[in-house]
Chains A and B, each alone.
Chain A
Amino acid sequence: MDITFEHVDYTYQPNSPLATLGLKDINLTFKSGSYTAIIGQTGSGKSTLLQHLNALIRPSAGRVVIGEQVVTPATKNKELYHLRRRVGLVFQFPESQLFEETVLKDVAFAPKNFGKSEAEANEIARETLRLVGIDEQLEDKMPFDLSGGQMRRVAIAGVLAMQPEVLVLDEPTAGLDPIGREQIMQLFERIHRERGITIILVTHQMDDVVSYADQAVVMAHGEVAKVGTPAEVFADLNWLTAHNLELPSTGRFVQRLQQKGFHFDQMPLTVDELLTAIKPQLKRGAHVG
């Protein structure tokens, strides 16, 4: 299922003195089966963009085409309900949406809302919990009794259980430690690869953009500032710095090496690429004294 934005504007509190433009003339395509990262400073419009992806909000102007459903300012809410199953949205700190008495019930909540029977929903919930690495023993626990990392995974399972075709993730690893972060990102990578789910990830972790995404979108002041492959977007370090964006962790290092006379044909985005680029420029076996 492709998602396309065509000249989308979004205005907060329209027709009031407080009206502010949240999005301005957005044109974007998220191809079926792709992995897109959206980056940009806090307040650049990423979250507003995100909520258009499953029609939680409708554009003030222009249109969003989600599969065969066209969303315009005039679209009725009723038509949008079934989009929500097809586009799963994982909010920041999703554990705050848990509410059922047991882990299993919480994960089965969304499938039940979308018309699955109790038995079907439980079946899907069990399967999804295994997928995110939650053991059977935890199924009957209160969600609030789990550790922070487990709660996060249960909450994500609660969205995955809708079996969406597109998964939208708003900083899904915020607040987790390095290993927890890695596990969650690997989980998304796996379902992206094995099930062909389209992923749209909002993140501040530039290394994740490099490692996982095939398209990167840079948002600034409610507009799309740049779109391309991660390599294209990160090619110009000065441009990124000028837009107050983080660099991939190799970026800072590369900048320093450049000042010392090292030469890079292409911006190395991973440690291995960086090593490949600098090794030929070094004396071998020389001893540091």
Chain B
Amino acid sequence: MKLTPIIEVRDVTYRYPYAEQPALDQISLQMMPNQWIAIVGHNGSGKSTLAKTFNGLIEPQSGEIYFDGQLLTEETVWDVRGQLGIVFQNPDNQFVGATVADDVAFGMENNGIPRDEMLVRVEAALRQVRMWDYRHQEPARLSGGQKQRVALAGVLAQRPKVIILDEATSMLDPQGRSEIIDLMSQLRAAGDFTIISITHDVDEAALADQIFLIDDGHLIMQGAPDEFFAKSDELHDHGLIEPLSEQIRGKLVASGINLSNKYLDENQLVDELWTLHLNM
């Protein structure tokens, strides 16, 4: 049986009003369910625009979007919005509720979920992101990382099939960023949903199963991290830098050290170096 892509983009073109260049230019791609997917590209490459087409926040001028096999139309879009949650970039500007718990409930209120059910789900979601103790707090008292965790809880409470993190870590300090990345790793292990992270942080992208590189509104390349990061020239051409472990591996190989000829994450690289250690 052939697996249905959770999101399929077919020949999508979108041009912002008054823009000279289209932000998305005849782009097509498929994303498989229950994977962690990273969409990378420099600022202005079109990656965030692409994500906004998935739930109809942006309506492409041509092309189609399929969500779980279903064509995105004016009739289906509200259904899709219930199954696809987005955590946006700015922690402040997506916090609707007056308190942490209220914000988590906002999406469920929109879908008319009964209050008793909301109480259960709000608690579960807040415990999952470790923010239950803060449930009565107002957003002004939270750090950026904590606000993003609340936003994630709001998405989780809706029980979505797809969670999109649209540069959700780019405005956070290192601590906030690692909190969110840890949570994403746990979520992938725990739940059956697709995670799509839109980012220019290659270390974050390196955690994905599948990476898409976008530039000028085109899909430049896609692949699993081990093939993807081996193409460092391609990455540089499109404004990105390979992860540190790849920089080190590349330079070691160039100076005659015999390492695997593919991308290794930090653990794998350290392990290989260990086998080459003289005093082993």
Contacts and interface: CB of A to CB of B under 8 A. Distances in A.
* A and B found bound together: yes
Nearest to B248: A271
A282 B251 contact: no
Interface stretch (B7-15, B157-165, B180-188, B267-275): B267-275
Nearest to B90: A175
B240 interface: yes
B273 A271 contact: no
A262 interface: yes
Interface string B63-77: 000000000000000
A253 B272 CA distance: 13
Interface in A60-93: none
Contact of A148 (B43, B173, B240, B248): B43
B256 A284 contact: yes
B279 A261 contact: yes
Interface stretch (A18-26, A105-113, A228-236, A242-250): A242-250
Nearest to A145: B18
Nearest to B203: A249
Contacts of B255: 275, 279
A178 B247 CA distance: 15
B274 A261 contact: yes
A288 B251 contact: no
Interface stretch (B31-39, B109-117, B257-265): B257-265
A102 interface: no
B278 to A, nearest CB: 6
B19 to A, nearest CB: 11
A282 B248 contact: no
B221 interface: no
A202 to B, nearest CB: 11
Contact of B280 (A175, A246, A261): A261
A195 interface: no
Contact of B173 (A42, A274, A283): A42
B277 A176 contact: no
A56 interface: no
Contacts of B143: 42
Given A271-B247, A271-B251, A281-B279, A257 B44 contact: no
B239 interface: yes
Nearest to B257: A282
A282 B244 contact: no
Contact of B277 (A42, A174, A282): A282
A92 to B, nearest CB: 10
Interface in A148-190: 148-149, 174-180
B98 interface: no
Interface string A247-285: 001101100110011100000000110110011011111
A238 to B, nearest CB: 18
Contacts, number: 101
A253 B270 contact: yes
Contact of A179 (B202, B239, B256, B270): B239
Interface residues of A, number: 38
Given A178-B241, A275-B248, A284-B257, A260 B42 contact: no
Interface string A27-59: 000000000000001100000000000000000
A286 B251 CA distance: 16
Given A41-B175, A204-B173, A177 B239 contact: yes
Given A271-B248, A281-B277, A288-B276, A175 B256 contact: no
Interface in B22-49: 42-44
A149 B280 CA distance: 49
A284 B279 CA distance: 13
A147 interface: yes
Nearest to B250: A271
Contact of B273 (A204, A252, A260): A260
Nearest to B244: A249
A278 B255 CA distance: 12
B246 to A, nearest CB: 11
A177 B42 contact: yes
B257 A179 contact: no
Interface of B: 42-44, 143-144, 170-171, 173-176, 200, 202, 239-241, 244-245, 247-248, 251-252, 255-260, 266-267, 270, 272-280
22 contacts: A42-B173, A147-B43, A147-B44, A149-B43, A178-B240, A178-B241, A179-B239, A180-B42, A253-B245, A260-B270, A260-B274, A262-B273, A271-B247, A271-B251, A275-B251, A275-B252, A279-B255, A281-B279, A282-B252, A283-B276, A284-B256, A288-B272
